[in-house]
């Protein structure tokens, strides 16, 4: 059982360490990072309650497999989980004096998303009949996906923090873009699963479509990583420029968002 627990938590720890090491200019206080992480753990509760309310509204998977997958992906999982992540993230860090540079938004959002992913991953692994296989697949796909949704959320949260004129637009994007990425990720899997279940796994047109959806999912996952790493690098650069600007004698400099 200890090995199962380690296998569920290890991918989370690796990504926590990864993003912490990226915060080189002014690392965030450990206490606030832990608070953010545990807020992410707690976000599973209100998200699950919201999902329980929305889920019965989904069209039946047997008669409308595509609509069911899209509904579950975007509205049940995407909206419920990303909304509560953003609300708790705002509650914990928005007014903190430590949220004082561009890269901070990514760090805090990643920690909160990984808190959510940690609880979810433990739940899935311990409830699976194939704990090792589930831990491996989720460690390679689901946990990094939550991390990248968090990077996306944090990117736009930082823009909102340091661009008062565009704050509402950036806050909307801090919810909308992670929701769309999360929804697409889940919908590709759910539609494929629904179609495969209805098809009985045969080598038919539906079977070929399921294989195509899986290929699209892998391509999407790769692009998600590339997009996330670019945003990490971009915010690192902005934090560097921001720190430099605080120390220079020139005034009236305007940031281009």
Q: Give the predicted TM-score (pTM) of the model.
A: 0.90
Question: Do residues 204 and 215 lie in contact, with contact meaning Cβ atoms separated by under 8 Å?
Answer: no
Residue 18 CB coordination number (10 Å):
13
Task: Measure the CA dihedral 35/41/42/46, to 10°.
Answer: 140
Crossing angle between the packed helical segments 142-162 and 2-22, to the nearest 10 degrees: 30
List per-residue pLDDT tens for the chain, 257 residues long.
588 889 999 999 999 999 999 998 889 999 999 999 999 999 999 999 999 999 999 999 888 999 999 999 999 999 999 999 999 999 999 999 999 999 999 999 999 999 999 999 999 999 988 998 999 999 999 999 999 999 999 999 999 999 999 999 999 999 999 999 999 999 999 998 888 876 654 556 666 787 788 888 889 989 999 999 999 999 999 888 876 655 554 444 444 44
Residue 233 CB coordination number (10 Å):
11
- Distances 51 to 35, 75, 104, 151, 183 between C-alpha atoms, Å: 24, 8, 29, 23, 13
For the stretch 102-136, what's the b/e string if a residue is b when 16 or more beta carbons lie within 10 angstroms of its beta carbon? bbbbbbbbbbbbbbbbbbbbbebbeeeeebeebbe
């Amino acid at each position: 059982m200890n090995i199962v627990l380690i296998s569920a938590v290890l991918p989370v720890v690796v990504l926590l360490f990864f993003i912490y090491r990226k915060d080189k200019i002014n690392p965030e206080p450990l206490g606030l990072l832990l608070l953010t992480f545990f807020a992410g753990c707690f976000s599973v509760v209100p998200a699950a309650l919201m999902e329980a309310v929305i889920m019965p509204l989904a069209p039946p998977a047997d008669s409308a497999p595509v609509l069911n997958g899209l509904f579950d992906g975007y509205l049940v999982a995407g909206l419920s989980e990303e909304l509560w992540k953003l609300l708790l993230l705002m509650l914990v860090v928005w007014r903190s004096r430590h949220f004082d540079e561009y890269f901070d938004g990514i760090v805090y959002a990643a920690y909160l998303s990984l808190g959510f992913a940690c609880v979810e991953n433990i739940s899935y692994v311990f409830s699976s009949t194939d704990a090792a296989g589930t831990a491996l697949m989720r460690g390679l796909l689901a946990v990094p996906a939550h991390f990248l949704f968090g990077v996306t959320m944090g990117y736009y949260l930082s823009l909102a923090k340091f661009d008062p004129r565009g704050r509402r637009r950036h806050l909307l994007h801090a919810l909308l873009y992670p929701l769309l990425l999360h929804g697409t990720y889940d919908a590709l899997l759910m539609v494929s699963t629904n179609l495969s279940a209805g098809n009985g796994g045969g080598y038919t047109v539906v079977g070929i479509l399921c294989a195509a959806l899986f290929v699209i999912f892998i391509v999407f996952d790769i692009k998600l990583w590339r997009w996330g790493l670019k945003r990490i690098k971009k915010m690192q650069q902005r934090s560097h420029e921001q720190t430099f600007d605080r120390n220079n004698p020139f005034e009236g400099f305007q940031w281009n968002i």
